[in-house]
Protein backbone atom coordinates (compact mmCIF):
# COMPACT_ATOMS: atom_id res chain seq x y z
CA UNK A 1 0.00 0.00 0.00
CA UNK A 2 1.28 3.48 -0.85
CA UNK A 3 1.65 6.38 1.54
CA UNK A 4 -1.73 7.76 2.62
CA UNK A 5 -2.10 11.52 2.34
CA UNK A 6 -2.75 13.40 5.58
CA UNK A 7 -3.49 16.73 3.89
CA UNK A 8 -6.84 18.51 3.88
CA UNK A 9 -7.75 21.72 2.06
CA UNK A 10 -9.38 23.79 4.78
CA UNK A 11 -9.79 27.23 3.17
CA UNK A 12 -9.58 28.89 -0.25
CA UNK A 13 -9.27 32.56 -1.23
CA UNK A 14 -8.56 34.56 -4.37
CA UNK A 15 -7.83 38.02 -5.70
CA UNK A 16 -8.30 39.54 -9.15
CA UNK A 17 -7.06 43.05 -9.93
CA UNK A 18 -9.72 45.68 -10.58
CA UNK A 19 -8.51 46.74 -14.04
CA UNK A 20 -10.20 44.89 -16.88
CA UNK A 21 -8.70 44.50 -20.35
CA UNK A 22 -11.46 43.45 -22.73
CA UNK A 23 -11.21 42.13 -26.25
CA UNK A 24 -12.57 45.46 -27.48
CA UNK A 25 -9.73 47.22 -25.65
CA UNK A 26 -7.24 44.98 -27.45
CA UNK A 27 -8.82 45.87 -30.81
CA UNK A 28 -7.44 49.37 -30.25
CA UNK A 29 -3.95 48.08 -29.43
CA UNK A 30 -3.21 45.38 -32.04
CA UNK A 31 -4.65 44.03 -35.27
CA UNK A 32 -7.29 41.75 -33.79
CA UNK A 33 -11.02 41.54 -33.06
CA UNK A 34 -13.33 40.35 -30.32
CA UNK A 35 -14.70 37.70 -32.69
CA UNK A 36 -11.21 36.39 -33.54
CA UNK A 37 -10.05 36.25 -29.91
CA UNK A 38 -13.23 34.59 -28.65
CA UNK A 39 -13.31 32.02 -31.44
CA UNK A 40 -9.63 31.13 -31.14
CA UNK A 41 -9.15 31.27 -27.35
CA UNK A 42 -12.46 31.59 -25.52
CA UNK A 43 -11.12 34.62 -23.59
CA UNK A 44 -13.43 37.64 -23.36
CA UNK A 45 -11.51 39.75 -20.86
CA UNK A 46 -8.63 39.54 -18.44
CA UNK A 47 -7.57 41.35 -15.25
CA UNK A 48 -4.44 43.51 -15.26
CA UNK A 49 -2.37 44.41 -12.20
CA UNK A 50 -2.19 48.11 -11.37
CA UNK A 51 1.00 50.15 -11.50
CA UNK A 52 1.75 49.42 -7.84
CA UNK A 53 0.61 45.79 -7.94
CA UNK A 54 3.06 42.94 -8.32
CA UNK A 55 2.83 39.20 -7.75
CA UNK A 56 3.47 39.71 -4.02
CA UNK A 57 0.62 42.25 -3.89
CA UNK A 58 -1.79 39.83 -5.55
CA UNK A 59 -0.65 37.01 -3.25
CA UNK A 60 -1.17 39.12 -0.12
CA UNK A 61 -4.67 40.13 -1.20
CA UNK A 62 -5.58 36.51 -1.98
CA UNK A 63 -4.54 35.54 1.56
CA UNK A 64 -6.54 38.44 2.99
CA UNK A 65 -9.56 37.19 1.04
CA UNK A 66 -8.99 33.66 2.38
CA UNK A 67 -8.90 35.00 5.95
CA UNK A 68 -11.98 37.19 5.52
CA UNK A 69 -14.17 34.72 3.60
CA UNK A 70 -13.41 31.88 5.99
CA UNK A 71 -13.47 34.02 9.17
CA UNK A 72 -10.01 32.80 10.17
CA UNK A 73 -7.37 33.89 12.59
CA UNK A 74 -4.49 32.57 10.52
CA UNK A 75 -1.80 31.44 12.93
CA UNK A 76 1.73 31.07 11.64
CA UNK A 77 1.89 28.39 8.93
CA UNK A 78 4.88 26.06 9.05
CA UNK A 79 5.61 26.69 5.37
CA UNK A 80 4.53 29.31 2.86
CA UNK A 81 4.86 28.30 -0.81
CA UNK A 82 4.23 30.63 -3.74
CA UNK A 83 4.02 29.27 -7.27
CA UNK A 84 4.94 31.93 -9.82
CA UNK A 85 7.02 32.54 -12.92
CA UNK A 86 6.54 36.31 -12.59
CA UNK A 87 8.17 37.13 -9.22
CA UNK A 88 8.76 40.69 -8.07
CA UNK A 89 12.51 40.03 -7.90
CA UNK A 90 15.03 37.30 -8.60
CA UNK A 91 15.52 37.51 -4.85
CA UNK A 92 13.92 37.91 -2.32
CA UNK A 93 11.18 35.41 -3.07
CA UNK A 94 7.52 36.37 -3.29
CA UNK A 95 6.91 33.96 -0.42
CA UNK A 96 9.34 35.90 1.79
CA UNK A 97 7.56 39.18 0.95
CA UNK A 98 4.19 37.67 1.88
CA UNK A 99 5.59 36.22 5.11
CA UNK A 100 7.01 39.60 6.01
CA UNK A 101 3.75 41.41 5.34
CA UNK A 102 1.78 39.14 7.68
CA UNK A 103 4.60 39.02 10.26
CA UNK A 104 4.43 35.24 10.41
CA UNK A 105 7.10 33.73 12.65
CA UNK A 106 8.63 30.24 12.50
CA UNK A 107 7.45 30.03 8.88
CA UNK A 108 9.59 28.68 6.07
CA UNK A 109 9.25 30.31 2.65
CA UNK A 110 9.89 29.22 -0.91
CA UNK A 111 8.92 30.14 -4.46
CA UNK A 112 8.31 27.33 -6.93
CA UNK A 113 8.58 27.99 -10.66
CA UNK A 114 7.18 25.39 -13.00
CA UNK A 115 5.29 27.92 -15.14
CA UNK A 116 1.66 26.97 -15.75
CA UNK A 117 2.12 23.57 -14.06
CA UNK A 118 3.28 25.30 -10.89
CA UNK A 119 0.20 24.96 -8.72
CA UNK A 120 -0.07 21.19 -9.01
CA UNK A 121 3.65 20.92 -8.23
CA UNK A 122 3.12 23.18 -5.22
CA UNK A 123 0.18 21.13 -4.02
CA UNK A 124 2.22 17.94 -4.30
CA UNK A 125 5.13 19.48 -2.35
CA UNK A 126 2.78 20.77 0.35
CA UNK A 127 1.15 17.34 0.66
CA UNK A 128 4.57 15.68 0.99
CA UNK A 129 5.63 18.10 3.74
CA UNK A 130 2.41 17.51 5.68
CA UNK A 131 2.08 13.76 5.12
CA UNK A 132 5.68 13.07 6.17
CA UNK A 133 5.19 15.08 9.35
CA UNK A 134 7.51 17.99 8.54
CA UNK A 135 4.61 20.49 8.59
CA UNK A 136 1.15 20.69 10.09
CA UNK A 137 0.00 23.73 8.14
CA UNK A 138 1.05 25.00 4.70
CA UNK A 139 -0.15 28.15 2.97
CA UNK A 140 0.00 27.58 -0.79
CA UNK A 141 -0.43 30.58 -3.11
CA UNK A 142 -0.40 30.85 -6.89
CA UNK A 143 0.27 34.46 -7.90
CA UNK A 144 1.04 35.75 -11.38
CA UNK A 145 1.41 39.22 -12.88
CA UNK A 146 1.90 37.99 -16.43
CA UNK A 147 0.95 41.36 -17.96
CA UNK A 148 4.37 42.67 -16.91
CA UNK A 149 6.16 40.35 -19.35
CA UNK A 150 3.61 40.26 -22.18
CA UNK A 151 4.57 41.71 -25.56
CA UNK A 152 1.57 43.91 -26.38
CA UNK A 153 2.70 44.19 -30.01
CA UNK A 154 2.33 40.41 -30.52
CA UNK A 155 -1.35 39.78 -31.20
CA UNK A 156 -1.00 35.99 -30.93
CA UNK A 157 0.28 36.22 -27.36
CA UNK A 158 -1.08 39.38 -25.72
CA UNK A 159 -4.71 38.33 -26.14
CA UNK A 160 -4.20 35.29 -23.91
CA UNK A 161 -2.80 36.44 -20.60
CA UNK A 162 -4.06 38.06 -17.42
CA UNK A 163 -3.11 38.52 -13.77
CA UNK A 164 -4.50 36.97 -10.60
CA UNK A 165 -3.86 34.94 -7.47
CA UNK A 166 -5.43 32.19 -5.38
CA UNK A 167 -4.53 30.92 -1.92
CA UNK A 168 -5.16 27.49 -0.38
CA UNK A 169 -4.71 26.64 3.30
CA UNK A 170 -3.62 23.01 3.77
CA UNK A 171 -3.65 21.36 7.19
CA UNK A 172 -2.77 17.98 8.62
CA UNK A 173 -5.64 15.58 9.15
CA UNK A 174 -5.01 12.35 11.05
CA UNK A 175 -7.55 10.47 8.96
CA UNK A 176 -7.14 10.04 5.21
CA UNK A 177 -6.27 13.26 3.40
CA UNK A 178 -7.33 14.77 0.10
CA UNK A 179 -4.52 13.79 -2.28
CA UNK A 180 -5.29 10.52 -4.03
CA UNK A 181 -2.62 10.38 -6.76
CA UNK A 182 -0.13 12.48 -8.71
CA UNK A 183 1.89 12.32 -11.91
CA UNK A 184 4.55 14.64 -13.35
CA UNK A 185 6.75 14.70 -16.43
CA UNK A 186 8.73 17.13 -18.60
CA UNK A 187 10.28 17.46 -22.05
CA UNK A 188 13.15 19.91 -21.75
CA UNK A 189 14.15 19.32 -25.38
CA UNK A 190 11.24 21.63 -26.27
CA UNK A 191 11.99 24.25 -23.61
CA UNK A 192 12.94 26.88 -26.18
CA UNK A 193 9.41 27.09 -27.53
CA UNK A 194 8.11 29.05 -24.51
CA UNK A 195 10.62 31.44 -22.96
CA UNK A 196 11.16 34.69 -21.10
CA UNK A 197 14.74 35.88 -20.78
CA UNK A 198 15.76 37.22 -17.39
CA UNK A 199 19.41 37.94 -18.08
CA UNK A 200 21.16 39.70 -20.93
CA UNK A 201 22.07 37.16 -23.59
CA UNK A 202 23.45 37.46 -27.08
CA UNK A 203 22.87 35.34 -30.14
CA UNK A 204 25.41 35.79 -32.93
CA UNK A 205 26.64 38.93 -31.20
CA UNK A 206 23.17 40.56 -31.01
CA UNK A 207 21.04 41.09 -27.94
CA UNK A 208 17.75 39.24 -27.95
CA UNK A 209 15.19 41.54 -29.51
CA UNK A 210 12.44 40.85 -27.03
CA UNK A 211 14.46 40.35 -23.91
CA UNK A 212 12.40 40.03 -20.72
CA UNK A 213 9.22 39.53 -22.74
CA UNK A 214 7.40 36.22 -22.94
CA UNK A 215 7.59 34.46 -26.29
CA UNK A 216 6.04 31.19 -27.39
CA UNK A 217 5.35 29.08 -30.45
CA UNK A 218 1.61 28.79 -29.96
CA UNK A 219 0.99 26.27 -32.73
CA UNK A 220 3.66 23.85 -31.56
CA UNK A 221 2.49 24.11 -27.96
CA UNK A 222 -1.12 23.52 -28.99
CA UNK A 223 -0.17 20.39 -30.90
CA UNK A 224 2.03 19.13 -28.06
CA UNK A 225 -0.67 19.64 -25.43
CA UNK A 226 -3.51 18.05 -27.40
CA UNK A 227 -1.30 15.05 -28.23
CA UNK A 228 0.31 14.48 -24.81
CA UNK A 229 -2.04 15.67 -22.06
CA UNK A 230 -4.70 12.96 -22.57
CA UNK A 231 -2.05 10.25 -22.05
CA UNK A 232 -0.84 12.10 -18.95
CA UNK A 233 -4.38 12.14 -17.59
CA UNK A 234 -4.71 8.42 -18.26
CA UNK A 235 -1.38 7.80 -16.48
CA UNK A 236 -2.56 9.47 -13.29
CA UNK A 237 -5.86 7.62 -13.43
CA UNK A 238 -4.00 4.31 -13.80
CA UNK A 239 -1.83 5.16 -10.79
CA UNK A 240 -4.93 5.95 -8.75
CA UNK A 241 -6.89 2.86 -9.80
CA UNK A 242 -9.71 5.13 -10.99
CA UNK A 243 -11.36 5.96 -14.29
CA UNK A 244 -12.79 9.23 -15.56
CA UNK A 245 -16.18 7.98 -14.34
CA UNK A 246 -14.84 8.41 -10.79
CA UNK A 247 -13.93 12.08 -11.42
CA UNK A 248 -16.51 14.76 -10.62
CA UNK A 249 -14.55 17.67 -12.11
CA UNK A 250 -11.67 17.93 -14.57
CA UNK A 251 -9.65 21.10 -13.90
CA UNK A 252 -7.01 21.59 -16.61
CA UNK A 253 -4.76 24.60 -16.97
CA UNK A 254 -7.01 27.24 -18.57
CA UNK A 255 -4.67 28.17 -21.38
CA UNK A 256 -7.16 28.18 -24.23
CA UNK A 257 -10.76 27.00 -24.36
CA UNK A 258 -10.35 25.43 -27.80
CA UNK A 259 -7.35 23.46 -26.52
CA UNK A 260 -9.36 22.20 -23.54
CA UNK A 261 -12.23 21.21 -25.82
CA UNK A 262 -9.81 19.17 -27.93
CA UNK A 263 -8.38 17.45 -24.84
CA UNK A 264 -11.84 16.62 -23.51
CA UNK A 265 -12.86 15.25 -26.89
CA UNK A 266 -9.86 12.90 -26.92
CA UNK A 267 -10.63 11.83 -23.35
CA UNK A 268 -14.36 11.51 -24.10
CA UNK A 269 -15.00 13.68 -21.04
CA UNK A 270 -17.87 16.21 -20.96
CA UNK A 271 -17.03 19.92 -21.08
CA UNK A 272 -19.88 20.58 -18.64
CA UNK A 273 -17.85 18.74 -15.98
CA UNK A 274 -14.71 20.75 -16.77
CA UNK A 275 -13.79 23.82 -14.71
CA UNK A 276 -11.95 26.75 -16.31
CA UNK A 277 -11.13 30.33 -15.37
CA UNK A 278 -9.84 31.86 -18.59
CA UNK A 279 -13.06 33.27 -20.08
CA UNK A 280 -13.13 36.29 -17.77
CA UNK A 281 -9.59 36.19 -16.36
CA UNK A 282 -7.42 34.99 -19.26
CA UNK A 283 -4.45 32.67 -18.91
CA UNK A 284 -3.07 33.43 -15.44
CA UNK A 285 -0.39 30.72 -15.68
CA UNK A 286 -0.07 28.77 -12.41
CA UNK A 287 -3.14 30.56 -11.01
CA UNK A 288 -5.65 29.27 -13.59
CA UNK A 289 -6.25 25.93 -11.85
CA UNK A 290 -6.78 27.22 -8.28
CA UNK A 291 -8.89 30.10 -9.64
CA UNK A 292 -11.07 27.58 -11.49
CA UNK A 293 -11.50 25.58 -8.27
CA UNK A 294 -12.29 28.78 -6.35
CA UNK A 295 -14.87 29.75 -8.98
CA UNK A 296 -16.41 26.28 -8.81
CA UNK A 297 -16.78 26.55 -5.05
CA UNK A 298 -18.10 30.13 -5.22
CA UNK A 299 -20.71 29.15 -7.82
CA UNK A 300 -21.84 26.13 -5.81
CA UNK A 301 -20.70 23.60 -8.40
CA UNK A 302 -17.95 21.97 -6.37
CA UNK A 303 -19.20 20.22 -3.23
CA UNK A 304 -17.44 18.56 -0.27
CA UNK A 305 -16.46 15.03 -1.19
CA UNK A 306 -16.09 15.78 -4.91
CA UNK A 307 -13.10 14.33 -6.70
CA UNK A 308 -11.16 16.79 -8.85
CA UNK A 309 -8.46 15.93 -11.38
CA UNK A 310 -6.18 18.96 -11.63
CA UNK A 311 -3.82 18.90 -14.62
CA UNK A 312 -1.28 21.58 -15.53
CA UNK A 313 0.94 22.07 -18.55
CA UNK A 314 3.27 24.83 -19.61
CA UNK A 315 6.76 26.10 -20.34
CA UNK A 316 9.57 23.70 -19.65
CA UNK A 317 7.84 21.88 -21.25
CA UNK A 318 6.24 20.57 -18.07
CA UNK A 319 2.98 18.84 -17.39
CA UNK A 320 1.48 16.87 -14.57
CA UNK A 321 -1.57 16.40 -12.42
CA UNK A 322 -2.96 15.56 -9.04
CA UNK A 323 -6.29 14.04 -7.98
CA UNK A 324 -7.83 15.52 -4.83
CA UNK A 325 -10.99 14.80 -2.92
CA UNK A 326 -12.39 17.85 -1.14
Beta bridge partners of 139: 80, 169
Catalytic option among 253, 264, 278, 319: 253
**CA 82 – CA 145 distance, rounded (Å):** 13
Contacts of 11 (CB under 8 A, 6+ apart): 66, 69, 70, 72, 168, 169
Is residue 245 part of the annotated active site? The answer reads: no
Is residue 264 part of the annotated active site? The answer reads: no
Beta bridge partners of 274: 250
Asked whether 52 and 99 are in contact (CB, 8 A), the reply is: no
**CA 230 – CA 284 distance, rounded (Å):** 22
Distances (CA, A) of 107 to 32, 56, 79, 99, 168: 47, 17, 5, 7, 16
Is residue 253 part of the annotated active site? The answer reads: yes
Of 122, 143, 120, 121, give the one whose Cα is nearest residue 65: 143
Catalytic option among 23, 116, 256, 264: 116
**CA 30 – CA 46 distance, rounded (Å):** 16
Catalytic option among 65, 196, 283, 319: 283
Distances (CA, A) of 68 to 59, 266, 321: 14, 41, 29
Asked whether 29 and 158 are in contact (CB, 8 A), the reply is: yes
**CA 136 – CA 171 distance, rounded (Å):** 6
User: Which residues are identified as catalytic?
Assistant: 116, 253, 283
Amino acid sequence: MGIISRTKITAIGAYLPEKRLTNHDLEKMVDTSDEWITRRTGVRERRIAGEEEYSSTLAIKAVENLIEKNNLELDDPDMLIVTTFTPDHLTPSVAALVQGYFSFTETGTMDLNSACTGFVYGLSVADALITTGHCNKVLLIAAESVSRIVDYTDRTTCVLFGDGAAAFLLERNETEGCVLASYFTSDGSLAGYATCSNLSRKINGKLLEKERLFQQDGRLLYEYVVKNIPSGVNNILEKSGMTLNDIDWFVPHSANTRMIEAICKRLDFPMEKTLMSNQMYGNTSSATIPLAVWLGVEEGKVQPGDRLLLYGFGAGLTHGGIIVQL
